[in-house]
Homo-oligomer: A and B are copies of this chain.
Amino acid sequence: MQTQTENADDIRVAVSTVILTVQRTTSSSAPVLSLPLVRRTREPFYDQWALPGGWLNAHENLEDAAARTLRETTGLAPSYLEQLYAFGAVRRSPTRVISVVYWALVQADAVAETTATLHHQHDQENVAWFSAAQLPALAFDHADIIDYALWRLRNKVGYSRVAHGFLPPEFTLADLRETYESILGKHLDPANFRRQVEASGSLIPTDKFRTGAHRPARLYRHNSTVELADKGPLTPEETKTP
């Protein structure tokens, strides 16, 4: 932004998004951290899986571009959206591309609904969901990018309530705990988990209970007065008091 070089115009800006959800394959199985990938329809990396994304429009904010490609890919709005990193190594693509990558959380039940309805709409046949633990070969440096997004998620669930973004408006403490367990890949003590969540003040108990094969569990709602997490420099209020 100080002196201009002759080559500045040879750089293009793309925006990609790592879209994450925690979904169950069957109603009784453990939830699995999953993400959608898009099969490329042109070179380079033709026919390989890649992160959803596209070129940045000249009159479009970065975050808007991420939300747009997310909507085009999944038909969904994110419950959480944060910039991950700007990837710009010279040789990460045959042409010079700066990819500003975002990561997003979507609700599992919303995913289930839209994949049913949108399946035969526009070009949804090039989109597929994969378990984060079993990813296919990926185009560009997208495997590294996903690794970093998963690291950021696991790190952030440790000191914020981002994981709530995976859940519907009402849920049990077991739902929330299993979400954490699938993200962190380890078992959490139900008793201690309950105490920590209750002490954080991030949940509001309802009068409803979910009945099942055993003792009914109380349903909780999110406390919207508590933010999911600090989302960076563009929401100054939260960044002041981490």
What residues of chain A have their CB less than 8 Å away from a CB belonging to chain B? 1-5, 7-14, 16, 38, 40-41, 50-62, 69, 83, 85-90, 93, 96-100, 140, 144-145, 147-148, 151, 155, 232-233, 236, 239-240, 242
Contact = CB atoms under 8 A, between A and B. Distances in A.
B88 A100 contact: yes
A58 B11 contact: yes
A43 to B, nearest CB: 12
B88 A61 contact: yes
Contacts of A14: 1
A100 B98 contact: yes
A177 B141 CA distance: 40
A236 B2 contact: no
Given A59-B90, A62-B88, 10 more contacts: A2-B38, A2-B54, A2-B69, A5-B54, A5-B57, A5-B58, A8-B58, A56-B98, A62-B98, A147-B236
A55 B8 contact: yes
A83 B89 CA distance: 13
A35 to B, nearest CB: 16
B98 A13 contact: yes
Nearest to A7: B58
Contacts of A7: 57-59
